[in-house]
Every structure is written in structure tokens, then in C-alpha cells.
Structure 1
Amino acid sequence: MLKGKLCTVRHLLTADLNTFIALVNDLPSRGDYFSSHFKSPETLRKEFAQSSFVTEDSELFVIEDQRHHIIGVITHFKSRTPITREIGYRLFDATLAGQGYVTEACQLLVDYLFKTQTYHRLELLMAPENLASVRVAQKCGFRAEGVLRESFFINGHYQSVQLFALLRPEWQAARR
């Protein structure tokens, strides 16, 4: 478990499963930047029973506030090369946006990945107009590298995404 001042980043527990399924499948909370694709509760339960959402290709964590409420998820997963890992996150309640939860969770995960793994590069992909997510990337030391034009198909249309990356030497220099 990774503890910060605002939140804790931890693995999902069996006791969390019903709450997690309801939150992750709440389509209205997904907004404009997340696909409306969802999985059945039975499928999610089966995947959790098989792997607890932790495999070599991906690892899912919940973001928990100080009152022990699950407020979001953050994950890292296989990217294009073995030295690169992509990070994704989602806040479940829009009223919590701008309070620093996702920034802290992202920084906790970045520190964890660089301290415990050999990855050289971490990436974040987001819609360029998702200014909240752009701010999270910038606050965590990620640099904008470019736009991947119409590379995602979300909610019935193609959407461009902006690529941000953080290299291990940049992370190390920021920690000094």
C-alpha cells in the first residue's frame, strides 16, 4: 500500500468488490474522456478471483481517501516496449476533481514504479482538452511529447490523444 497525505493507493480487496463494480460501471461518472464500454459484474468477479486484477501485463490499484472511501482507480500496464509502462487513472466523483487526489496517487505510483522496477519510461495518454489530466501530468513531472491524431475510438467517434512521458533520469533529477 502506498500512503500519501490525501490518499492511499492499494490493491483491491474482496471486501471492496461490490462497491468497486458499482463505481467502475457507473456510466454517467465516466464523462467525455472514458469509453462507455463496461463489463458485467460476473465477469469482473471472475477476473478478480483469477488474478485480483494483477498480472504481468497490468496492475490495478484503488485510490482511497482518508475516510477509507474508494474514490478512483489508477493502473499501470504494458506499453509498446519492455522499458516503458503506461499509467491510467480515473476519479469516480467529479466533485472531488481539483483537490489533489489523482496528482498524489499518480506521484505515489510513479515513485513506486521507478523505485521497484527497471522501467526507464512512464507514459500518460489523454485527450488534449482534458485540462485536469494535463495538469496532473505536468505536476508529476511528465513532459508533453506530441499528439496521436484520432488514435482512440471513444463513445462513437475517433479522438486524438496527447502523449506525456517521464524518463527515469528526469524523475531522479527532480528528487534531488
Structure 2
Amino acid sequence: MFAISLGDDGAELRPLEPWRAEEFLAHMDRGRDFIGQHIALPDFVADLDSARSFLRSYAEKAASDTGRIYGIWTDGTLVGGVLFRTFDATSGTAEAGCWLEPSAAGKGLITRACRVIIDWAVEERGIHRVEWHASVKNGASIAVARRLGMTREGVLRENYPHRGTRTDTEVWAVLAPEWRAAKAGAAS
């Protein structure tokens, strides 16, 4: 197994695999209300079987090269994660996403972890376009998209039914040339 450091604070990015289902469920239980404000992930991960099934679905996506999921650990505790909800190497497109429990919010973990996976997708896998979808009510997620240098492309009106209410979704994206230019600018 590998771990990628996310900075001097001891945070790490690691694969989130089915054998970690108990840990994933405990993490989801700690952050269920906070995470569920804008995304349905906590609704899908309600018990050990559903946690294992969710992680297994991403293991299958990784095996078929159609998605990936990674956990963020601080001090040995799973506190959030990032993923490629979709990943199409043939067309060069992917959709990144994230979640975080409240104890880890506001520390830049999601931005740092997303930089790692987007850079891998662009530089190693040849992905040309990485999308980011966020509820218009999710200011923290929209702020991540901005910090990642993404461009707001529009709003999908009432496209996402979440807990009985249809919500609008902002679509953000970064193209490979933009990603590389921003990286080059940060390096100089």
C-alpha cells in the first residue's frame, strides 16, 4: 500500500479499499450529518454491508479504469476522501469529488488531496478535462473548485434530488493546458 503526504501536518492520502469498510463506516458515522448536507454518500453508507459494498463498487471501478477513491488520514484517523466519480481515459474526461468530516474542515485537506489526484489524472493518464459538480448551496466545495483553478461553466437547474428537494448544481472544470499553466506559474 502507498501513502502520499499532503503536507507537514501529517495528513496522508491513501487508497480507500473494501478491507477498510469498518473504518469507513466509523468515519461516516462521525460526519454523517455534516457530510450529508449536500451529498448522498452518508445515505449509501448506513451499515457495514453498505460500506463494504460502496468501497467494493469503487474497487471494481478502479479495476475497469472508470473511477477511483482515496481516503484522507490525519494522525492515523480517516477524516475524509476524494474520488473520481467518473473516469474515462478514452475520451479524456473525469469528474472529481470529495467529502470531509467536520473535525477536518478548514485545513485545506481537500484542496491538497485534489491537487494530487488531478495532477495524476492529467500528467499520468492523459485526462484533458476534470469536472467538479457542487450544490449551489455548498460554498466550501465551490471554494475548492476556485482554489484548484477551475472555471465555472454553468448551473444545472434542479438536477439533483437530495433528501426530497431538487437542488441546483454548479459545474466547474479545468482543462489540462490550464492545469499545466497554473502549475508552471506556481513553480516560478
Task: State TM-score, norm by structure 1.
Answer: 0.86
- Between the aligned partners of 1:34 and 1:117, the Cα distance in structure 2 is 27
Q: Which runs of 5+ in 1 are unaligned?
A: none
CA RMSD of aligned residues (A): 2.4
1:131 aligns to 2:136 (yes or no):
no
Distance 1:138 1:51, change over 3 A: closer
1:29 aligns to 2:34 (yes or no):
yes
Q: Secondary structure at 1:87's aligned position in 2?
A: strand
- Between the aligned partners of 1:49 and 1:85, the Cα distance in structure 2 is 20
Q: Percent same amino acid at aligned positions?
A: 25
Distance 1:141 1:20, change over 3 A: same
- What is the deviation of 1:99? 1.2
* Code of the aligned partner of 2:52: R
Q: Secondary structure at 1:82's aligned position in 2?
A: coil
Q: Which has the higher contact order (CA 8 A, sep 6+)?
A: 1
Distance 1:157 1:63, change over 3 A: same
Does structure 1 conserve the Cα–Cα contact (< 8 Å) formed by 2:93 and 2:130? yes
Task: State TM-score, norm by structure 2.
Answer: 0.81
- Quote the residue 1:58 is aligned against: 67
Residue pairs, 1:80-91, within 5 angstroms: 82-91=91-100
| Structure with more of its chain in helix, by fraction | 2
* Code of the aligned partner of 1:74: V
Tell me how many residue pairs correspond in the alignment.
174
Residue pairs, 1:9-158, within 5 angstroms: 9-13=13-17, 16-24=20-28, 27-35=32-40, 37-39=43-45, 40-46=47-53, 48=55, 52=59, 54-55=62-63, 56-65=65-74, 67-78=75-86, 82-92=91-101, 94-158=102-166
